[in-house]
């Protein structure tokens, strides 16, 4: 920030290298001195699903403190905004020239992000999420299907409906076909109420029926409880999904890299690369993707 209160601002399309696809996030890389009220005002003004605010961290093992805001409220973690923030630091602030990793201090703990360069340009960023956890949810399959806007017969009985976590809780809903996911019409006010009741950030529909040999999974994500009707490409939810797949024995216990498609149903296609590695205490979940800076500007008098 300079003496006039001006701060740099970026709008970054995450999990894509194509402008105006993937999932857009706001990034304010020099947010030192901004209070919670001002950060919420900025996020509401930008109207992105999430905006990441970076400040210097007092944690000995972190480079930056990051807070995430939707236009409605602060949330503990956001995958695509983490990718966007790391991309700004690596490509605009020279971080990739001096280090191969940046570590973010977040409300859920430390999140390291590796920066991969190719031909002296940032190629990919990979965040290691916190250990995955699962919980049951005491709601019938019929009710969840109704709220998600699909038929109960579209739910895939081979996989359980559960809550998954790698920073936020997500309702993970297995669906038989990509077509059923694409035509889903969730009852957003009712879904928001149910998610608030169980403290769920998003409802995440997934299927192995990708209809594309380049992908392992196809997903779609709804987050009305935090003010986002549909989140195009979700790093946190897909990380939680990968942890669920391993913990439930749906994928093998060997190290596995999943290529996940999301955003196609709303014209913002993106790709996530999720690596699941068994660990001594818990699986290690790493979510990778590229990004594209679509807008660079200045916040005026942002004190």
State the pLDDT at residue 249: 93
CATH number of the CATH domain containing 194: 3.10.310.10
As a whole number of angstroms, the distance between CA 169 and CA 166 comes to: 7
For residue 1, being part of any structural domain is answered with no
pLDDT, block means (10 residues), the chain with 303 residues: 77 96 97 95 95 97 97 96 98 94 97 95 96 97 98 98 97 98 98 97 98 96 95 97 95 85 97 92 94 95 70
Q: Are residues 176 and 150 in the same domain?
A: yes
Predicted local distance difference test score (pLDDT) of residue 281 = 86
pTM value is: 0.93
CA separation for the pair 2, 298 (Å, rounded): 11
The verdict on 140 and 248 lying in the same domain is yes
pLDDT at 4: 59
The verdict on 182 and 277 lying in the same domain is yes
Question: Are 59 and 82 in a shared domain?
Answer: yes
Q: Cα separations (Å) of 273 from 132, 156, 174, 256, 295?
A: 17, 23, 19, 10, 25
Domain coverage including residue 99: 7-128+290-299
CB-based contacts of 180: which residues, under 8 Å, 6+ apart? 150, 151, 154, 207
User: Strand pairing partners for 125?
Assistant: 115, 289
Q: How many CB atoms are located within 10 Å of the residue 165 CB? A: 23
CA distance 15 to 18: 9
Quickly tell me which residue has 């990034």 as its tokens: 27
Q: Does residue 295 sit in the same domain as residue 218? A: no
For this structure, is 50 an active site residue? yes
- Choosing from 30, 50, 105, 230, the catalytic residue is 50
């Amino acid at each position: 920030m300079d003496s006039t209160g001006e701060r740099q601002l970026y709008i970054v399309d995450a999990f894509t290298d194509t402008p105006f696809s993937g999932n857009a996030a706001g990034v304010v890389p020099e947010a030192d001195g901004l209070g919670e009220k001002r950060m919420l005002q900025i996020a509401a003004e930008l109207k992105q699903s999430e905006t990441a605010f970076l400040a210097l961290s007092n944690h000995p093992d972190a480079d930056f403190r990051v807070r995430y805001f939707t236009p409605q409220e602060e949330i503990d973690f956001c995958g695509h905004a983490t990718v966007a923030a790391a991309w700004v630091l690596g490509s605009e602030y020279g971080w990739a020239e001096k280090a191969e990793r940046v570590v973010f201090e977040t409300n859920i703990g430390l999140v390291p992000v590796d920066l991969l360069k190719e031909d002296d340009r940032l190629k990919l960023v990979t965040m290691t999420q916190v250990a995955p956890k699962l919980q049951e949810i005491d709601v019938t399959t019929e009710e969840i299907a109704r709220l998600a806007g699909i038929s109960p017969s579209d739910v895939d009985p081979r996989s359980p409906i559960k809550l998954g976590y790698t920073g936020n809780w997500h309702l993970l809903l297995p669906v038989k076909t990509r077509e059923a996911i694409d035509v889903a019409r969730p009852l957003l006010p009712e879904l928001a109420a149910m998610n608030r009741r169980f403290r769920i950030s998003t409802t995440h529909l997934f299927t192995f029926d990708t209809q594309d040999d380049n992908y392992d999974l196809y997903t779609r994500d709804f987050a009305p409880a935090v003010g986002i009707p549909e989140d195009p490409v979700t790093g946190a939810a897909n990380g939680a999904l990968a942890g669920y797949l391993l913990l439930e024995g749906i994928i093998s216990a060997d190290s596995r890299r999943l290529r996940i498609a999301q955003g196609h149903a709303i014209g913002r296609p993106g790709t996530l690369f999720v690596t699941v590695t068994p660990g001594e205490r818990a699986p290690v979940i790493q979510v990778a993707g590229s990004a594209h800076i679509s807008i660079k500007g200045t916040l005026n008098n942002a004190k």
